[in-house]
Copies of this chain bind each other. A is one copy, B any other.
Amino acid sequence: MGTEFLKIIDVSKAHNVVKNIFKRLYIPLSEKISLNEALFRVLSHDIHANMDLPPFDRSIMDGYAVKSQDTFGATEENPAILKLLEVIRAGSIPKKEVKVGFCSEITTGAPIPTGADGVIMVEFSQKNEEDIKLFNSSYPGQYIAARGSDIKKGELVLKEGTILSPDKIGVLSALGYSAVEVRSKLKVAVISTGNELILPEDDLEYGKIYDVNSSALYSALESYGTSPILKGIIPDEYTALKNAIKHSLEDADLIITSGGTSAGAGDVLSEVLDDIGEVMVHGISIKPGKPTIIGEVNNKMVIGLPGNPTAALIVLDVLMAPYLKNFSGYVAHSKPSDKIKLPMASRFHSAQGRMEYVLVKILEGQVNPILKYSGAITGLAEADGYIKISKTTEMILEGDLVEVSFFDDTIH
């Protein structure tokens, strides 16, 4: 018994391994989806305008479409008086040409009639049957949004990588899109291993516990913008794990296993990977999460996480989230990248020699470490997130500012 860690490395080296595997194996693909499913998906291509916007010369005020020359010098005392031709409402088509001495009533968004080159606001007008008094002059182009003045056909409108927030979805609608090409989600298989694990609907027999990692890792993977696939619980045993991995290779791009480390399942995974693939990393000098495995089978990454739910969630978040979010395109370009720093509520002694991650609860703006044994579920129930303590830090003092990673972060 006891796990051998043949390839134990620092967390920064583990990051390099994951980064290089991503670079080598995972090429972003795209898929077409309906605009109403596109919220917070990520554009896979630049969007060039397929039309002029506005698509026609359009009034941007309620008022009167005129020949500017008819209004030059018009004032309150000396109004221009023009004959009304017609009323042009948004969505309708002008029927009459505006000639010298004439004007047409027009609403915001309506097409400018032929002959007119300006609009005078309704506030500067007075209507007497067919005579329209205008108390202000227009210059050529006044209150007209000319065809293509907003966006010209062919112009770059949204760049590849844009996160489709509601305003950007509006832009695509304006160009007549009902569907859009977005980055495909990475399909990630989630396998829980452990003879003690049972499904939620099962009866709780003596010696068994409910599987936590399937649902927790599934949700975390969803929040990183991937498409997780639950592969269920498998026994802590070579053939079962090999078959589950082979089966997962059929529909998943990446495989995450967790658990069973107590019975040396970390070793089982490394044995399986040795036989059908390769182990790159076996052991990372972090707490929790030391027995983590990084491997590869058939050009797909396989990650072995600890069975302890807190450790599994934290290692996934620390080791994989940056690359998974980056692949999903979940990178906020606009916001400053400063993480939230808050003061410690009390001092905390850290395990030296390993990078340590500690669950914390925020109370009145202060960071309270949660001191439970690492398998405790209450830790997760109480935590808002976790803090990272470098391997050379012995102690954090009360009031020291620490960076908090929150479990409910998505894009940012």
Mark out the residues of chain A between 168 and 200 whose CB falls within 8 Å of any chain B CB in the assembled complex: 168-178, 194-197, 199-200
**Which B residues touch A39, using CB under 8 A?**
219, 222-223
A340 on the B face (CB < 8 A): yes
User: How far is the CB of A368 from the nearest CB of chain B, in Å?
Assistant: 11
Q: Which residues of B contact A169 (CB under 8 A)?
A: 215-216, 218-219
Out of B91, B196, B208, B362, which one reaches A196, CB within 8 Å?
B91
Q: A101-113, CB under 8 A of B: which get 1 and which 0?
A: 0000101111100
Q: Does A36 contact B (CB under 8 A)?
A: yes
Report if A319 contacts B (CB, 8 A): no
The number of times this chain is found in the oligomer is 2
A209 touches B109 (CB 8 A): yes
Tell me whether A196 and B53 are in contact in the complex, defined as CB-CB below 8 angstroms, given that A218-B36, A377-B151, A410-B410 are known contacts.
Answer: no
Most buried by B among A56, A166, A174, A201: A166
Query: Which of A248-256, A349-357, A380-388, A391-399 contacts its partner?
Result: A380-388
A345 CB to closest chain B CB (Å) equals 13
The answer to whether the Cβ of A273 comes within 8 Å of any Cβ in the partner chain is no
Q: Which of B1, B51, B230, B309 contacts A204 (CB 8 A)?
A: B51
A166 touches B211 (CB 8 A): no
Which of B89, B145, B176, B199 is the one whose CB lies under 8 Å from A210? Answer: B176
**A210–B174 alpha-carbon span in the complex (Å):** 5
Contact yes or no, B362 A335, CB < 8 A: yes
Q: How far is the CB of A25 from chain B (nearest CB, A)?
A: 25
A25-65 contact mask (Cβ, 8 Å, vs B): 1 or 0: 00000000001101110000000000101111000101000
Which chain B residues lie closer than 8 Å to A340 at the CB level?
Answer: 335-336
- A210 engages B166 (CB within 8 Å): no
The answer to whether A240 has its CB under 8 Å from any CB of chain B is: no
Are B165's CB and A110's CB within 8 A? no
Least Cβ distance of A358 to chain B in Å?
A: 14
- Say which residue of B168, B173, B223, B381 sits within 8 Å of A166 (CB atoms): B223
Bound together, the chains give a CA A199 to CA B35 distance in angstroms of: 12
CB distance from A99 to the nearest CB of B (A): 21
Q: Are B109 and A172 touching (Cβ within 8 A)?
A: no
The smallest C-beta distance from A53 to any residue of chain B, in angstroms, reads 5
Given contacts A110-B196, A170-B309, A175-B210, 19 further A-B contacts (CB under 8 A): A2-B62, A36-B218, A38-B219, A60-B373, A90-B194, A90-B263, A91-B208, A151-B378, A157-B378, A157-B381, A166-B218, A166-B407, A167-B309, A174-B210, A176-B200, A176-B204, A178-B199, A335-B362, A336-B342
